[in-house]
Structure 1
Amino acid sequence: MPLDVIMPALGMAQDTGHLVAWKKKPGDRVAAGDVLFEVETDKSVMEVEAQGEGWLVDVAAEEGSDVPVGRVIARIADSPGESGAAEAQASAPAPDAGAEAPAPAPDTPALPEGRAVIMPVLGMAQDAGLLVAWSVEPGARVEAGDTLFEVETDKSVMEVPAEAAGYLAATLAAAGEEVPTGEVIAILTETAPEAPVTRTRAEGAAPAPATPPAKAEEPAPATPPARAEERARPVSPPAPAPETGGRLLASPKLRRLAHEEGLDLALLRQAGVPEPWHVRDLERLRALAAEAATAPAAAPAPATAGLRLVATLSEDSLAGTLAWAAERADLAPEAVLAGLAGAALGLPATVAVETLHARSLWHVPSRRLTAVTAAGEDATPSLVLRDLTASRLTEIAAGPEPAPVLTLTRGPAGLTLTLEAAPGALAPLAAARLLDGLAGRLEDPLRHLF
C-alpha cells in the first residue's frame, strides 16, 4: 500500500519546515529507515527517515522551499511506475496548532491565556503520540530548550523541548494518554499561575488562543539552551537488565513493555530471534521467560583466581649487561632477556619477548647466552617476557594468558617485574621461584649466565 511522505513538525509551535536537501531521487528504491530528506526549522536540522519500503515517487517539494507541516511532499509506492497522488494531496491542510479539542466539562476551571503547546508530528505517517511523561511540574518555570515532555510513537521516544520561556500554567493531557497531533496539550504563560490547571484528555482540553499575547522582553536564561541536535535526540526507556555482548536492538515500545513486565530482552538474542525486535516479538519473549523460569538452575562454576606476583629491582646492572652483549657478543637485547628468562624458568625453554611494537621467539637450550637462537614463528612459547621499559607504564594487571607472562616496567624506584599466570599454570611456590630467579638474573646477569 502506498505511503504518504509528509513534512513533519519538529517543534511545538512550528507551522512550516525548510526542505534543505533530498537524500533520495525520484524513482530510487528506499528501505525502512533510509534517510529521505533533511528539514530545517528555526532551531534544528533533522534527517527524516522512510517509514516503509518501496520506490520514491511524486516528489512535490523542491530543495530550499518552505513547506507547511503536514503537507504531502512525496509518496513511497509499491512500484516505480505509480504516480499522480501527491499532486492531488499536496494541498492537504497542515495540523492546526489552534484546532479545538474536546470541550471541557462545565465545572472545570478556566484556562489561562498564553502560548499553546501542541502534540508535535514526529513521523511522516503519525496521527497521534503517546504522552510518556511530563518533565516539568505544573506551575514551574521553563527556559527555551528545556525538555517539557516525552512522547512516544511506534518507532521512537523523543524529548520535546520548550520553544519559549514561561510557566507551565496548564497541562491538558496526562502521562499514558494518546493525543492527536496538533492538539493543544499545555499552555505556557509569562507570569507564574496562582493555581495551575491540570486535566486529562477525558476531562476535556481547550483550544489555543486565536492570537497569543505579544511576548514581553525576557532576561537571558541562566543556563544556555541545549544544542538542537541534543534536544531532538531519541531517548530510550530503562532496559530491564544490563546488556551484554553488544547493544540489544529493540524498539522503544518493546523496551518499555518488557521493563513493565520484568522481561529480559537478552532472552530473544539467546533464542536467535533476528534483531531489531518490535512489539510483535513480545509474545515470544513472554514464552521464553516462562521457559527460563521453569528450567533447572545451572550450578555456578567454582571461582578461580590466577596468580599475580610483583618484585622490584635495580636497573643499573641490566643496562650494562645489555650494552656489553650488544658490543662484545653481537647479541640483541631480546636474545639476552630471553636467555635470562629461560634460565629462570628451567631449561630448555621457548621464550617470547614482546615490546609495544615487536614480538620475537627464542629457543633457550642452556645457560650460555651464545646458545640462545631464534625460534620459528609457529613455536609455542612456554613463557612470555613483555618488556615495557620504553613506555610510560609503571605497573600492569592485564590478567592471566595461556602462557605465564612476566612484564618488565620502569618506575620511580627502578624496575618492576610482574608475573601473571592462569589458574593451574604454575604452582604458587614454582611461580615464586621463577619471579625471584629472574629478578636476581636481571640484577646480576653475568653471575648467573657466565
Structure 2
Amino acid sequence: MPHDVTMPQLGMAQDAGKIVSWLKSPGDAVSKGDALFEVETDKATMEVEAQADGFLTGVSAAEGDDVPVGQVIARISDNAEDDAAPEAAEPAPAASAAGDLSEGHRVTMPQLGMAQDSGLLVTWLKSPGDEVAVEDVLFEVETDKSTMEVEAGRKGWLAATLAEAGEEVPVGQPVAIISDAKPEATVARSVKDGAAKPAAAEAQGQAEPAPAQPTAPKPAAPVAAGGRILASPKARRLALEQGLDLGRLAEAGHPQPFHVADLEVLRAMPERGASGAPGVAAAARRLTARAAEDGLAGFADWAEAQGLTGDAMLAGLAGASLGRDGAVVVAVERFGDRVVHSVPGGRALSGVTPSEDAPDLLVRDLRGTRLASVEMGPEDVPVLTVTAEGDGLSITLECAAGQLEGPEAIRLLSEFAGRMEQPLRHLL
C-alpha cells in the first residue's frame, strides 16, 4: 500500500519548509529509516526519514521549493513504476455561520516525530472567541513519545476550533483558525463532523442571527479511545515524581483530561493493596545508600555480652536512626521470619525488648541471600532492606510519600547506613 511523504512540521510556528536537497532519487529503493530529503525552516535543518519500505515515487517538489506543512510531496510505493505524482489534497475551507474564515491563520496538528502520522488533542486551553498572543498556549497534543503544548504563533482571536479534546488529528490538518479581527461568530467542531458547527446557535424566529457567545469545547470522555489517559504534561510529570497512578482516576470515571488540580483528588483516594482493598499509598520515595563494610560482624561479641540477639541489634540501630523522641517499634525480617522489638529513645541498646505492637519501621535483612538489589514498593510502614555488596552493604529505603518527609527519609537512611558500617557510633 503506498505511503504518502508529507512536509513535516519541525516547529510550532512553522507554516512551510524549504527542501534543501533530495537524498534519494525517484525509483530508488528505500528502507524505513533511510533519509529521504533535507528540509530547512527558520530555526533548523533536518533530515526527513522514510516511514516505510518500498520505492520512492511521485516526487512533486523540487530542491529549493517552499512546501506547506502537511502537503504530500512524494510517495513510497510497492514498485518503482508507480511514478504518478500524488494529488495534493486541498484543505477544506473552514466555513461558519459568520462566513468564510479561510483568510485566518490556520494552526495545524504538529509533527513531533518523524514517524508520527497523527496526534491526540489532549485539551484546549483557549476557547473560541478568546484573544490570544503569539506565545499563548492553545492546546496540548500527545503522541506515542511525547506530550507538548502548542502555541498560537501569532496574535489575534481564536475564531474556530476544528477538533475536540480526545480526538486523533492527522499531522498537518488544521485544528484552529486565528483571525486578525474579532469574529462576529465563532466555530467549534469535531474532526468527525463534516461541517462546522456555530459556537452559538441562532435564536429561533429572529430575522438577524444573535451574536455568538464564546463557548468552551466539550470535555473529553472519562476514558479516551483506546484506553489512553489524557493529562497535561505537568500533571504527568508530577504524578511520575510522586508515584501516583493516573489510571486510578480514569477507573473512577474522573473526567479527562487530567490537570495538576486533579492530583489532589487522586491523593485523597484510598489506595489498594494486592487484593484491591484499601492499603498503603503508592511508592513515592526510594533511596539507596552504601556502607564500605559490614560492621556488625565485629560488633557481634559485644552485643552477645549485652544479651542482644542479631535481630534486636538491627532493630536498635534502625530505631535510633529514625530519630524520634519516644519508643519506636521495629520489625526485622530474615529468611521469612519476622520478630518485632520495641526500641527506647536514646542510645541504650540494652533497652531493646520484644514487642507485639504494630511496627513503625521494618528492616529486611537479606545479607545471607543471593539478592543484590530490591525494588518491592512500599508497605504499611517504611522499609529498610539490607543486601551484601562485596565486603560492604547496600541499603535501600522504600516508603510512601506520606510516611516520611524527604529530609526525614534522607536522615533515616544516612544514619542507619553509618551505624551499620560503624556500630560504635550508636554508643558515642
Normalized per residue, the structure richer in strand is 2
> Looking at CA atoms only, which structure, 1 or 2, has the larger radius of gyration?
1
TM-score, normalised to structure 1, is: 0.40
Q: What TM-score, normalized by structure 2, do the two folds share?
A: 0.42
